[in-house]
Amino acid sequence: LKEAVYERILVLTDEEIDELVFEKWFGTTVNDLVKLIELPLKKELNILEQLHKRYAETLDDLEEESTKLEAELEKLMSELVVR
C-alpha cells in the first residue's frame, strides 16, 4: 500500500497537488469561520428562548388566573355547609 501511495505521489499533476494543498491548509477555513459567528449567535438565541419561556406568562395572565381562582373559591365557599 505504501508503495502504491508513493507511486501515486510521483504522478500527481500540478492541479491535483494544488487541490490537495488547498484542502490541507484551507479546507475547513470556511466552516471554521462560520462556526466563529454561529456559536455565539446560537448561545444568545438559547438565552433568549429561555427568557421567553421564563417570562411568557404576563401580569395580565396572572391576574386573570387569580380572578378565576378567587371566583372558584367563592363558589366553593358558598357551597360549604356548616352544621
- Cell numbers for 81, please give them: 355547609
> Rounded distance, CA 17 to CA 15, Å?
5
Instruction: Extract the residue ranges of the chain whose pLDDT is less than 70.
Output: 83
Phi–psi pair at 24, nearest 5 degrees:
-65, -45
Relative orientation angle of helices 29-54 and 14-26, to the nearest 10 degrees = 30
**Enclosing domain of residue 45:** 2-79
pLDDT at 30: 86
Per the structure, how many domains does the chain have?
Answer: 1
> Rounded distance, CA 4 to CA 15, Å?
20
pLDDT at 18: 93
Whole-prediction pTM: 0.49
pLDDT at 83: 66
